[in-house]
Chains A and B, each alone.
Chain A
Amino acid sequence: MSELSHRAPTDWKTDAMQKRIRKRYRAERRFRAIGMAAVVISASFLFFLLATMIGNGAAGFMRTEVSLPIDFKSAPLEIDRAQLATRGADLALAGAGLEDRVKTAATAAFGAKGEDLIAGNAWTAVRDAIKEDPNLLSQSAHIWVPASSELDAAADGGGEPEFRALVQQLRERGALQSGFNAAFLSRADSTDPTSVGIWGALKGSILTMLVTLLIAFPIGVLSAVYLEEYAPKNRWTDLIEVSINNLAAVPSIIFGLLGLAVFLGTLGLPRSAPLVGGLTLALMIMPVIVIAGRNAIKAVPPSIRDAALGIGASRIQVVFHHVIPLALPGILTGTIIGMARALGETAPLLLIGMRAFIVTPPGGVFDPATVLPVQIFLWSDEVSRGFIEKTSAAIIVLLAFLLAMNALAIYLRNKFETRW
């Protein structure tokens, strides 16, 4: 006491004091500058990524069409008109040699290399036009058919000089048009880049995610609730906790091997099916949901539990009426992190056979399918020029799906967020 009272009053104006204050302000400014630099760097990376993807991928959503003059009047197709109204129409038209006729028409219209200007499946566009209007078979008409990938690339300003010159000619004749490629969003994989679609992979991803969510969410949340609210705290629950934490860090390809062994090997589920993909990914993200769920449940104030118990709520009523609703925003955040990880996952799905070449969109969870990231991986491996822009377009679809999923999660989180 006496020593303190004898001390001289602190002089806050000395040089040393002033220097200390200046140093403190400098440290503050420095920290703020570093923080801003970090934000700018990460934002510019993101911007670069999006700009490149959209720049490359936009062309993937467009297609080029060539107006093909075809004359059925002077050289009629030998076909029974009555068949056109039946289900055998496709077969009948193919059998009548429509494909060759289209190729001949292209050569006649555009010269010796005419066949290279139209897509390999161009004749199917003619076939569909005839089915729609059988009168074409007795007319000489111009039909819009998809351009070959070389011509498509040239129309976008790339490709070989030879084709760029052709594009110029066709444009002058008004025989070339570009438009939104609706078929890209409704078809599945193909060997020809002009006729590939993303719907097969997108639907595969949607089905896989649904299976993942339906399995991982309830099991993850219930595990979290049990471990947090019911389980006794002993060596066994400690062991389980450590195991779950480790499981969350296991490389995804290991889960692929597990899925291969258990779901395909032991249980004999169909290969390449969204069901198996979903189950495998559910195993992968379950630990993430459990950990996030437990943290969210821990964050619910004990006073709320006391309040409910104090008026005679049973344990299960406390959990379902109070704890889970209050923890739900946190649980949803964890779930969406897990789902985003599952959506972008490729490695484990390769192992369970979801990298197959599949030309029809899956009808259900048991049908063979592929998913968006695997489709991107497959297309990026193709040598054909046309697949480059399709790869970027697929990436855009994947990112859009991801954003839609995140937006839904944020909406749900805000909806359930409790104002204190």
Chain B
Amino acid sequence: MTAVMTQSDIAEAADTVAAQAVTKMSARGVNVFYGEKQAIRDVSIDVDMDHVTAFIGPSGCGKSTFLRTLNRMNDTVASARVEGEITLDGENIYDKSMDVVQLRARVGMVFQKPNPFPKSIYENVAYGPRIHGLARAKGDMDQIVERSLKRAGLWDEVKDRLQDSGTALSGGQQQRLCIARAIAVDPEVILMDEPCSALDPIATAKIEELIHELRGRYAIVIVTHNMQQAARVSQRTAFFHLGTLVEYGETDQIFTAPRQERTKDYITGRYG
């Protein structure tokens, strides 16, 4: 077994993984720079519709950076520059014809720290559909809010206090509210950037359960520090190290029989 996968190996691995399901998003030869510093080196990966994909790796390995290129959140960083091709349903998202506002509605995001708007629970969920004009009548909006909160598993806890501030909820509830807010605009892909790192174990378990339930309806990509979590929630795992994609494959295979030495060292706790 070679210590480093060649580029063709990775592409091949990506292809084999992709062949089994409908590819939703795919990246080919992506480089990301922050000014002079290169944060991501030549990453190629496919994300499919039916599986949860986890990005793991030590701090600073670029997994969050790469996640943020998938819905162009890096556009807000003035010094960031992205090279290569990322497609959503075969359409290049960095193409001039791609509207970034629409892209972010289609590729939703949940952040590390729960960040509800300092508005009511109802308004938090209704904000997205409202700015995209998804609800025609007041009744429509009520339905969207109810459906989104139900899918996020929060409805029963908040249905009697929809007008309370979203920031008054507990951390775990806030994070589920953020998931409901992302779901409300009917995205195709949901990116989760360490969604449980600020939560206690019980709240974490609820989010993981929720990810299971959402699987299949949305393509889900989750970045996590926690390898057990990756093992629990995902079917595909990508291991990043120093800005490169070291290994990508079935979660079971990554955790039980990693092909790469570096993956094995990380998974067995040699570093990280």
Contact = CB atoms under 8 A, between A and B. Distances in A.
A286 to B, nearest CB: 26
Given A311-B108, A311-B109, 13 more contacts: A303-B115, A304-B117, A306-B115, A307-B116, A307-B178, A310-B109, A310-B111, A310-B182, A311-B127, A311-B185, A312-B105, A313-B101, A321-B131
A308 B111 contact: no
Nearest to A418: B118
Interface in A405-420: 418-420
Interface string B234-260: 000000000000000000000000000
Contact of B101 (A306, A314, A321): A314
B119 to A, nearest CB: 8
B113 to A, nearest CB: 6
Contacts of A317: 131
Nearest to A306: B111
A304 B117 CA distance: 6
A311 B118 contact: no
Interface residues of A, number: 22
Contacts of A303: 111, 113, 115
Interface string A290-333: 00000000000101111111111110010001100010000000
Contacts of A308: 117, 127
Interface residues of B, number: 29
Given A310-B71, A311-B127, A322 B105 contact: no
B109 A233 contact: no
Interface of B: 71, 73, 76, 78, 101-105, 108-111, 113, 115-118, 127-128, 131-132, 165, 167, 178, 181-182, 184-185
B73 A310 contact: yes
Contacts of A306: 73, 76, 109, 111, 115
18 contacts: A232-B78, A233-B78, A301-B115, A306-B111, A307-B117, A308-B117, A308-B127, A310-B71, A310-B104, A310-B110, A311-B109, A311-B128, A312-B104, A313-B101, A314-B101, A317-B131, A419-B118, A420-B167
A405 to B, nearest CB: 28
Contacts of B109: 306, 310-311
A309 B178 contact: no
B8 to A, nearest CB: 35
A385 to B, nearest CB: 59
Nearest to B182: A311
A317 B184 CA distance: 18
Contact of A307 (B76, B115, B184, B185): B115
